[in-house]
Amino acid sequence: MILETLVVGPFASNCYIIGSESSKRGIIIDPGAEAKVILKTVKDLGLTIPLIVVTHTHIDHVGALTPVKDETGAEFALHGADAGSGAFSRMLSSMAGDSLNQLPKPDRLLKDGDTIDIDGLHFTVLYTPGHSPDGISLYGHEIVFTGDALFNYGIGRTDFPGCSYDQLMESIQNKLMTLPDKTTVYPGHGSSSTIGEERTGNPFLLF
């Protein structure tokens, strides 16, 4: 499996590009900014992208969605809780003094337990709200992309309108901490870790 991490935009968001070694088809997760950089990386890796998945619709995870989707022709998938309205993304955009056009209409609405399969790439959708109503994580191949639910020794913010600390902690405990300790965590910001490291060292989970 090809896995490339790009740190993009003023919020230093992680954009992930995953590809099949054999077919050279892949997935982009969270194209948050710097569309040209993302597209150049896709080209350099020799990939075609049939699918873009966003872990949630905050601006720092969808800021480059439209140009990347337009250039690749990829389908766009997100959890149905936001239904592509981008309400939370526009809220953050306003806070940042930026503007954001309406998100493109999603081609696929995801729900907990759905699977994403592209040429040997197999991921299960875990619904992990709390930081945002539409938050999801993607688990497969002994790795999990957690968006802004779980970070390396941190958790997502819950001080935005519509967020919930209790819901986030429930998501982490019931969906993420149930994964094997060796599972590598790829978060929406910052460096990777493992479920085992977070279970024993994340100060927000030690209670």
Q: How high is the pLDDT of residue 99?
A: 45
Model confidence at 91: pLDDT above 80: no
Q: Which residues contact 134 (CB under 8 A, 6 or more apart)?
A: 56, 57, 78, 79, 80, 81, 82, 88
pTM: 0.92
For the chain, give every domain's residue range: 2-201
Answer yes or no: are the C-beta atoms of 13 and 194 closer than 8 Å: no
Burial class (CB in 10 A: 0-12, 13-18, 19+), 126: buried
Q: What is the pLDDT of residues 118-171, one digit of tens each?
A: 999 999 999 999 999 999 999 999 999 999 999 999 999 999 887 999 999 999
Please state which CATH number belongs to domain 2-201: 3.60.15.10
Answer yes or no: are the C-beta atoms of 13 and 3 closer than 8 Å: no
Mean pLDDT computed over 26-41 = 98
Confidence of residue 86 (pLDDT cuts 50, 70, 90): low
